[in-house]
Structure 1
């Protein structure tokens, strides 16, 4: 089965110097996605200040829609007009502070919140304490299972290394930081290579209960470790995850949002990488009423590398948002981001925003970001906004691509002509769409869990 051509937007130096984005289409890549045309419109929309674009395939038209002035009345979302006060041009200028009072409540006039359903997420914008009702009655319960080589402890606010990488950039993150007295700290010691992953199970105890959390994951110099953070149950959960990746170390982080249907969750994952460090960051969002995960990666020393992978599956009336920011602040660093999502059911909604900043001192940068969305039923909608900010011409390669589409009727016809029933043919297309990402997860039980979860999601719409 031949994958269709993909719509690519704003390739600066082309695939040969940007990690070859076509390689990202292997093992199913964009299988079944009918690509969205009109590259010029996409490039114009993605580069416009305050603008955004989405190739909505829900109506089968594949048309490109510029949402820069859309009025989303059902979610109370409206964008500022050109006459209103403009935000600073570069993503790096966003305010950072531990003081809750330094942040305004999110509004539709703020670029970083313009897609988010603010009324739904409203409980998380309150400066509310963690709802502890007894010594053993917390809004979220933690179960930590680690290999012997992982040191487990807690960190108070201001106690290093807490706060050395993550300084809040939003109200929710600031509240989570201030309201969490003891941050969970997991550390791989210098020169240790740990084969088994460290696991943190986070179980919500009720949709009406507020939780605030701060987790610090650290790999010291020349160490190798994997961390899994798995969210289940239900809560109103504000969370910070701070990643400190020491020089020449390798960290893998897998964050699973497996919440019940009524959970609210806003998380900030903030990583800082040392010289020749490598981070593989994986986000999987399947459950929750509304979930938003912000992933920030700072490449502050030469030779650092970050790989961002994401998989999400939105159902009816479910909102899933993922925002990435990769800050290339040192020479000869590499970043690649690949996020893929599927949507089904009326009111299913996903948003992906990818920002990459290449600073003037970041010569030799090589970066690429890719987002693909597969719309399975009528009434679902996906928005993708890829952005590049480049302050130096001395780079190896930089580019991005994004597309949203429905099933490719020609591929379905090809499979059905060979005796495969339509329902099974559709399953094969979706499996192929996600296969590339699942195969890159090095924890076998998580790969199995994701395959089972995708099958369960498909059973809802295809049976």
Structure 2
């Protein structure tokens, strides 16, 4: 089944499953493996409930996300505030542009959020306007279930930064639709600092037009299960996409991002860098990075990388980079992935200069993670995240101190 091309409210109704695993079981078809070929639909019934065998769910604890597979009426479980209300447009109902101009759900949770959010929040930056201060959208969970859809639109030649702050407890299905018009420069930062009981699954879909630039940053430090999947289409000639991520998974946490960067226009530039640290026997992170350089994306320069630092026995980081190239005329493309423990040479270097092993470990981890924090460009938020990372590292240091000298911890 291909994605519907008509307006969402006119999408055909069907009982046919587009779930790849269901296709295998019912019709003997080969499962969809390529990100660009994944089926899409506005109807949750077209996907069915995930089983964990599907390519986009097999690394996710689907049983714990079950509450997000059925729509609810709106975002009652979330309170919302916006720091600069002059940039808040009228709510967007289904079929009201720019909602759904290019956004089409590619999994059941995203389709649930589309259906459940009757009115989408619309953050709109007017053409040619430069917003000096970040626009902060605060989303606080009050313990309930919520479906939500946000549209962030940067008008032509505008400049702005939008921060999404997630706190509290919720069972939250979320869509974030990002439109960067010609010549605009937009930075979107999504920070997840949920309580441990929260579950959050979010689809971010972005389109970047001619000579425009999007910097997209995901920071996940809290929540029981957090799955934030950015999908960025560099549609216009000369467009740029910079996708960065940071996670710190503690015991019992599952932090996940499935990143998709589609170079569609010519002479586009993409850079993807996600970093993660894991502490605790049941800490888990998942990163899947897909880059597609399309047949018309000549002159493209693209690179993606994922780095993970495992701090304790039993923690697990899954890292899967993928690169597809459909044209021979590119400036460059590559991908890399690495997961490991402390660098013994770095520890030795620091200890040889009189720094204790405990402090040396803290400095290595801190230096590893703060590269992403420094790209945020908002001093107050950077300070807040640095303090949060210091708190995470204090727990690591305490565990190391409790270990015997010869015990790997």
TM-score (norm 2): 0.89
Which of 324, 327, 337 is the matching residue for 2:262?
A: 327
Query: Which residue, 139, 142, 166 being the options, matches 2:80?
Result: 142
> Which structure carries more relative contact order (alpha carbon 8 Å, separation 6+)?
1
1:460 Cα deviation from its structure 2 partner:
1.2
| Partner in structure 2 of residue 306 of structure 1 | 241
Contact 2:74 2:118 in 1 (8 A): no
Please tell me whether the aligned partners of residues 165 and 243 of structure 1 are also in contact (alpha carbons under 8 angstroms). Answer: no
Quick check: 1:301–1:329 contact (8 Å CA) kept in 2?
A: yes
Tell me which of 112, 115, 126 is aligned to 1:175: 112
1:401, 1:98 → 2: CA distance?
34
Q: Output the CA distance in 2 between the equivalents of 1:115 and 1:320.
A: 11
Aligned-partner SS, 1:285: strand
Gaps of at least 5 residues in structure 2 are 1-23, 399-409
Q: Distance in 2 between matches of 1:153 and 1:257?
A: 26
Work out whether residues 154 and 184 of structure 2, in 8 Å CA contact, stay in contact via their aligned partners in 1.
yes
- 1:377 aligned residue: 312
2:15 counterpart residue number: none
Q: Which residue of 2 aligns with 1:114?
A: 58
Determine if contact 1:129/1:210 at 8 Å carries over to the other structure.
Answer: no
Task: State the match for 1:162 in structure 2.
Answer: 99
CA contact (8 A) 1:213 1:238 kept: yes
Q: Tell me how far 1:153 sits from its aligned partner.
A: 2.6
- Are 2:271 and 1:336 equivalent residues in the alignment? yes
After TM superposition, the structure 1 = structure 2 runs for residues 199-214 of structure 1, keeping only pairs within 5 Å, are 199-206=136-143, 209-214=144-149
For the residues of structure 2 that align with 1:454 and 1:155, how far apart are their CA atoms?
Answer: 37
How far 1:414 sits from its partner (Å)? 2.0
Work out whether residues 52 and 61 of structure 2, in 8 Å CA contact, stay in contact via their aligned partners in 1. Answer: no
Count, aligned residues = 374
Match of 1:105 in 2: 49
Residues 71-127 of structure 1: CA deviation (Å, up to 9, x unaligned) = xxxxxxxxx99x974223532121122122222211222100010011121211223
1:442 alignment counterpart: 377
Measured against aligned partners, the alpha-carbon deviations of 1:160-194 in whole angstroms (never above 9, x if no partner) come to 00011311111100110111111110111001111
Structure 2 counterpart of 1:247, from 182, 203, 207: 182
CA distance in 1, matches of 2:357, 2:28: 51
Offset, 1:435: 2.4
> Residue 90 of structure 1 aligns with which residue?
34
Distance 1:343 1:456 in 2: 14
The answer as to whether partners of 1:311 and 1:340 remain within 8 angstroms in 2 is yes
Secondary structure at 2:324 match in 1 = strand
Report the Cα distance in structure 1 between the residues aligned to 2:57 and 2:294, rounded to whole angstroms.
25
Question: Which whole-Å deviations, capped at 9, do the CAs of 1:219-238 have from their partners, x for residues lacking one?
Answer: 01110111000000010000
- Post-superposition shift, 1:272? 0.6
Tell me the SS of whatever aligns to 2:101.
coil
After superposition, the CA RMSD in angstroms is: 1.6
1:130 CA drift (Å) = 4.1
| Structure 1: runs of 5 or more not aligned | 1-79, 132-137
Which whole-Å deviations, capped at 9, do the CAs of 1:19-52 have from their partners, x for residues lacking one? Answer: xxxxxxxxxxxxxxxxxxxxxxxxxxxxxxxxxx
Q: 3-state DSSP class of the match of 1:410? A: helix
1:147 CA drift (Å): 6.7
After TM superposition, which residue ranges in structure 1, 4 or more long, deviate above 4 angstroms?
none
Separation (CA, whole Å) in 2 of partners of 1:371 and 1:272: 23
Say if 1:293 and 1:322, in contact at 8 Å, map to a contact too.
yes
Is residue 147–residue 197 contact of structure 1 (8 Å, CA) maintained in 2? no
**Alpha-carbon distance between aligned partners in 2 of 1:159 and 1:100, rounded to the nearest angstrom:** 20
Question: Which position in structure 1 is the counterpart of 2:407?
Answer: none
Q: Distance in 1 between matches of 2:305 and 2:97?
A: 35
TM-score if structure 1 supplies the norm length? 0.79
Counting only pairs closer than 5 Å after superposition, residues 350-389 of structure 1 correspond to structure 2 as 350-389=285-324
CA distance in 1, matches of 2:119, 2:88: 15
